[in-house]
Structure 1
Amino acid sequence: MSARARPADPDARRWVGEPPKDTGDGRSPYERDRARVLHSAAFRRLAAKTQVHTAGTDDFLRTRLTHSLEVAQIAREMGARLGCDPDVVDTAGLAHDLGHPPFGHNGEDALDTLAASCGGFEGNAQTLRVLTRLEAKVLAADGTSAGLNLTRASLDAVSKYPWPRRPGQRKFGAYADDLAVFTWLRAGAPAEGRRCLEAQVMDWADDVAYSVHDVEDGIHGGYVTLRPLLTDPDERAALCADVAAAYSGESPADLGEVLLDLLADPVLTPLAEYDGSHRAQAALKATTSVLTGRFVSTVVAATQERFGPGPHRRYAADLVVPRRIRARCALLKGIALRYVMRRPGALSRYQRQRAILAELVAVLVDRAPDALDPIFAPVWRAAPDDAARLRVVIDQVASLTDPAAVAWHARLVGGGAPSVGRGVKLG
């Protein structure tokens, strides 16, 4: 890599050196990063990937694409107030879900089981793989793909879980065969596993968008009502138990106290009285705006109180999220979990989705490389062993949208109901 092609700022460097851009537009490296993500095929595919509700089932409901746009907007505003480069946090918000497979977190869990012999599957590790290997944009000198070849700062900002897989730990940010680029992007981090401020901002923006907007979708869709929580202590206790198990380190008793305060907040009144009218929709939108603003402003103020007014970027500060604010956010996420994701009929749908993915992986293992997309077939042929070939199949399936996964299954397996529990055999 020539010195001319390598920026002096190590945060602005790219894994593969690129010649200077002579477009004369004056854009920073981080503005270019944002544009690369926004124009990528992986980003467009998020339009047909499930957020909480199945993609395409309702014109109002959010997909991974709309969720990512909302995360990016929240992260950009919050990061700018703290002094982060706004394009770095914006890029992180746009890119954070690029690795998520069909069928949301259910698909993620299914692929983790199916990929056990090649290191498992994790949406955030897959995002790094998309950004640095799978997306078609930049080639290295040896002809291998460097993905979008984002700057170090942007890649680090996307790293929500900046460590490889550890025994007993479900969340991680890099597969074993991506450790070279992962080690490179983490250069300059003061401690193993410590996230840069921009990644923390993106993660909190993700939590805020997830909690507030998924409850909004649930209320609009008729799945969520606050009346049982307002009137039934046992229902409140059950919700707090769910939240303690899934989203929070707080005890159910402590969450119960926060929940009572949350339910007493007048801003939630429209959630209990929603009837679908224009007036009700406007009130619901006002509620989501107020909640989002509070979650952002409180965290910005707490961070500035501890670390000073800034500007802060990279490893100069850590995001401060007050305990009760984090608990409120977790409770809203729990409402979506309990009343939307676990609503009657959901289990059978999840089982079918997992069976579709299992059978699709199995048939692609049997019929690769011919059945793979042209971008994956040569990579499969060059793979040195069964584990590497399985990883290519997993990459192929993870890249599919929800409708494409169903269509591929129908074409390759058949139109009948999938057989739950079919395994994958190699060799």
Structure 2
Amino acid sequence: MEGITDTSGQDTLTDTPGYDSAATERWAAEPDKRPGRTAFQRDRARVLHSSALRRLAGKTQVVTPGTRSHAWDASPRTRLTHSLECAQVGRELGAALGCDPDLVEAACLSHDMGHPPFGHNGEQALNDVAKDCGGFEGNAQSLRLLTRIEPKRFVKDADGDLVSVGLNLTRAALDAATKYPWARGGHPEDPGSPKFGVYEDDLPVFEWIRQGAPAHRKCFEAQVMDWSDDVAYSVHDFEDGLHAGHIDPNMLYAEPERADVFAVALGRYVPEDTDPQELAEALDRLVDQEWWPHGYDGSAVAQARLKDATSQLIGRFCLAAEGATRGTYGSGRLTRYAAELVVPRATRNECAVLKAVADRYVMQRAEQEALRADQRIVVAELAEALVARAPDGLEPQFRAAFDAARDDRARKRVVVDQIANLTDASARALHARLRVRPV
């Protein structure tokens, strides 16, 4: 994004309480085609109408799209349905705390856009592929997609060439979608962490987004998005596991099963030094609730009870965060860097236990590991074939970027961008086409 000359864009209308003109500024100035909307309503509309959001319908959340365990089972959630559910949770929680609801919803809808086919498994495989060009991280890819790859807005650079600025969202919207506001190796507490939010290539726009922001600190809206993400996937992955018959609520009373769940949670979902007794108490608080899906058997009545339980859990987790945050900061409007989201430790432990239950009984099934091994092979072989044959196999958008790339590192990044854009099905189809050997 270097060399773009017009970086002073602001929406004509900046009447959103709690947000100044810097928050509603866009990288490239552009008039609103429908005057009367707020800057964040425009952001939400752009994300909602993007092809990147639609592609999430074909990307794995936990269970591969198109698979069903029983004839009566509802189709498993995809990255798209998860993003929509996260957005609903975030919009209401953000509004209750004084955030602009359209801003939080836009961040929630876009936070997973950069995730590749095959879920986190594909992310790890693509990180191996990209080790010589800066690595791969789904959140950094989301920023790259929002600011460069998604074709919505083009401007001229210093040389007069047209370059993409992606969806050209406001500074506040891009900041709210940034879960990890640091580059690779820049985690403030763990430099070895694989989590980061920006590639080296994208540092200019990242630095523009972060103007005036405290180093490494997530804005308040990003914290709301992050907690809404945790709430949505912990509750809904648990629900999907019950629907599919992989989770039996009765197992959560057996000590050996509980110990397995707590072992999964430690280090992955809670700090390693957490006392397992805390997790046991968290699980007990949940299973002791009247609305807990005791004896789930898949009947219509049981499904209705389960749906009520998911609503109760979401409300429980969000109200706990809302109450603790209001108890710390009072009743005013909380936006940008004026506050920190406060989530009680006990609530985080309850959420973590749900994540660990789904992890233990859904993601760790033997057939899932066999499927993940096959998916890693698809990603690795697809990358090998594209690198060897490029620009053959690249879509026109990425073919042009490949031809314009300045060196092998940049060309490798284009190949990674192409793979990340694919759905599960299109990744397999392209892999099959490129790996066919002549007779």
Q: Return the TM-score normalized by structure 2.
A: 0.91
Equivalent in the alignment of 1:148 = 167
Residue 10 of structure 1 aligns to a residue whose secondary structure is: coil
Separation of aligned partners in 1, 2:363 and 2:167? 33
Deviation at 1:5, TM superposition (A): 5.3
1:118 paired to 2:118 = no
Separation of aligned partners in 2, 1:5 and 1:49? 34
1:301 paired to 2:326 = no
Residues 47-196 of structure 1 mapped to structure 2, 5 A cutoff: 47-58=57-68, 59-142=74-157, 143-166=162-185, 167-189=191-213, 191-196=214-219
Greater share of helix residues, 1 or 2? 1
Separation of aligned partners in 1, 2:263 and 2:393? 45
**Match for residue 242 of structure 2 among 216, 219, 225:** 219
**Residue 294 to residue 5, structure 1, CA distance change in 2 (3 Å):** closer
Deviation at 1:115, TM superposition (A): 0.5
Separation of aligned partners in 1, 2:400 and 2:7? 30
Residue 317 of structure 1 aligns to a residue whose secondary structure is: coil
1:43 paired to 2:53 = yes
Residue 140 of structure 1 aligns to a residue whose secondary structure is: strand
Equivalent in the alignment of 1:277 = 299
**Residue 132 to residue 2, structure 1, CA distance change in 2 (3 Å):** closer
**Residue 248 to residue 3, structure 1, CA distance change in 2 (3 Å):** closer
Q: Return the TM-score normalized by structure 1.
A: 0.93
1:23 paired to 2:40 = no
Letter in 1 for 2:201: D
Equivalent in the alignment of 2:188 = none
Equivalent in the alignment of 2:345 = 323
Deviation at 1:6, TM superposition (A): 6.3
Deviations 1:163-209 (A, max 9, x none): 111141110000001000001001121x2110111000000000000
Separation of aligned partners in 1, 2:252 and 2:243? 18
Deviations 1:11-52 (A, max 9, x none): 10111122x22534x111110000100000100000110111
Letter in 1 for 2:193: Q
Alignment RMSD:
1.5
Separation of aligned partners in 2, 1:366 and 1:6? 45
Equivalent in the alignment of 1:423 = none
Separation of aligned partners in 2, 1:381 and 1:22? 33
Equivalent in the alignment of 1:206 = 229
1:380 paired to 2:392 = no
- Percent of residue pairs identical: 55
Residue 117 of structure 1 aligns to a residue whose secondary structure is: coil
The aligned length equals: 409
Structure 1 residues 70-79 or 259-268, which shifts more? 259-268
Q: What runs of 5+ residues in structure 1 fail to find an aligned partner?
A: 416-427
Deviation at 1:248, TM superposition (A): 0.7
1:348 paired to 2:358 = no
